[in-house]
Amino acid sequence: MCGRYTLAAPDPAAIRDRFPVGESVEIRRRFNVAPGDDVLAVTTDRAGAPRGELLHWGLVPPWAKSPEMGLKTINARLETITERPTFRGAFARYRCLILADGFYEWQRLGGGSKQPFHITRRDAQPFAFAGLWSIWHRPDGGTMRSCTIITRAANSAIAGLHDRMPIILGRSDEREWLEAATAGARLDQILAGLPAGETELRPVCRAVNDARYDGPECLAPPAEEPQRALF
């Protein structure tokens, strides 16, 4: 699964240059993005043009009775995505880019403790997760725009930590991923995921374990573990 990630690049202008988010969406440095947060994404308008916006992380389909459903839909498994009603329609028509520059996974250690790792592209460049989005209409007439991150079996670099990983799109595939007309075999190619040889892992301190904490200490080496973050 993917339950925590980063968009910690210090220069928002670089993110705007890299992705078609426009000028109206706020870009903040995020060291510990967690489910339920508003996340930076690229969707498309009715004409198919890309647009940047903030989406609630945890997809709420149009037919949901409550937004609480989003607590269980932060990820969508690629293997069953066309079978599950929650994701099937969005996969066909409402695909998005969820912007990031790394994600976290945990290695189980003896005694029940876990060591967090920050996982990035080897070139350390920002990237886009393959995402789906949806609009849910509130009883009061308002709307909630939400999203999920698609996952697949982990590559060999990550498999020692977890058997799943979020799908990181190739830069040249991002536009086609957004286009509703892209289908079939081409989607299979696009969703191949980040190869092991392009994957970088490094241990970080346990500040990231607290989903409420979103400071730079999340990316500090374990040797710089702040005592207040240990639990």
Catalytic residue set: 2, 105
Tokens representing 215 are 């400071």
Q: Kindly give the pairing relationship between strand 38-44 and strand 95-100.
A: antiparallel
CA dihedral 49, 55, 57, 61 (to 10 degrees): -70
Characterise 181 by phi-psi region: left (phi > 0), alpha (psi -120 to 50), beta (else): alpha
Report helix, strand or coil for 115: strand
In angstroms, the CA 125 to CA 112 distance is 33
- At CB < 8 A and 24+ separation, what contacts does 9-13 make? 9/101, 9/126
Q: Which of 218, 95, 92, 193 is nearest to 147 (CA)?
A: 95
Rounded-to-5 percentages of helix, strand, coil across the chain: 25, 35, 40
The residue assigned the tokens 């079996």 is 153
In angstroms, the CA 68 to CA 31 distance is 25
Is the sign of the CA dihedral 172, 173, 178, 184 positive or negative? positive
